[in-house]
């Protein structure tokens, strides 16, 4: 059997360790995102809805979102050095990225998540 020698394009999920397959990047790895909000304010709800809309359109079933309500757990803001809300933190893939705001600007959100070049 002859092996293909074509180069693989980097996946939007980021670089993987040498020897990992492209299929594993697409099918098995999930992006880990944390959205910091303050209760059920209009801006917090908009951020949650806008984030799900963007991710469902551009990478369905490839993400996991943890919503952190800082009204209930204010000490959790220290871990990711949150200074404004809502703030989205991309934990995985590396590097960590932060986007502040309600994520209503789809283009800015895609660039911030590195799903589209800036």
pLDDT value for 28: 53
CB atoms within 10 A of CB 49: 13
How many helices (H) and strands (E) the chain has is answered by 3, 4
The Cα–Cα gap between 104 and 115 comes to 16
pLDDT in tens, 7-58: 333 334 333 333 322 222 344 579 999 999 999 999 999 999 999 999 999 9
User: Is 97 contained in some domain?
Assistant: yes
Q: How much of the chain, in percent, has pLDDT values that exceed 70?
A: 75
What CATH number did the domain enclosing 97 receive? 3.40.30.10
**Which strand (E) or helix (H) includes residue 111?**
helix 106-112
Strand order of the sheet with strand 87-92? Answer: 63-69, 31-37, 87-92, 97-100
User: Is 21 contained in some domain?
Assistant: no
In this model, does residue 59 exceed pLDDT 60? yes
Residue 98: give the domain boundaries. 30-112
Instruction: Spell out a b/e string for 81-101, using b for 16 or more CB atoms within 10 Å of the CB, else e.
Output: ebeebbbbbbeebeeeebbeb
User: Is 19 contained in some domain?
Assistant: no
User: Is 18 contained in some domain?
Assistant: no
Total number of domains in the chain? 1
CB 95 within 8 A of CB 103: no
User: Is 3 contained in some domain?
Assistant: no
pTM of model > 0.85: no
User: Is 66 contained in some domain?
Assistant: yes
**Which strand (E) or helix (H) includes residue 27?**
helix 22-27
User: Is 51 contained in some domain?
Assistant: yes
Tokens of 108: 């800015």
The Cα–Cα gap between 5 and 16 comes to 19
User: Is 25 contained in some domain?
Assistant: no
């Amino acid at each position: 059997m002859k092996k293909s020698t074509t180069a693989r394009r980097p996946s939007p999920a980021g670089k993987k360790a040498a020897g990992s397959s492209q299929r594993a990047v697409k099918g098995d790895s999930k992006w880990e995102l944390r959205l910091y909000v303050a209760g059920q304010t209009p801006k917090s709800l908009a951020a949650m809805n806008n984030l799900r809309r963007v991710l469902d359109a551009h990478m369905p079933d490839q993400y996991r979102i943890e919503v952190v309500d800082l009204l209930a757990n204010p000490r959790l803001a220290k871990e990711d050095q949150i200074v404004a809300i809502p703030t989205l933190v991309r934990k995985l893939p590396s590097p960590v990225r932060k986007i502040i705001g309600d994520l209503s600007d789809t283009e800015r959100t895609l660039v911030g998540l590195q799903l589209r070049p800036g």
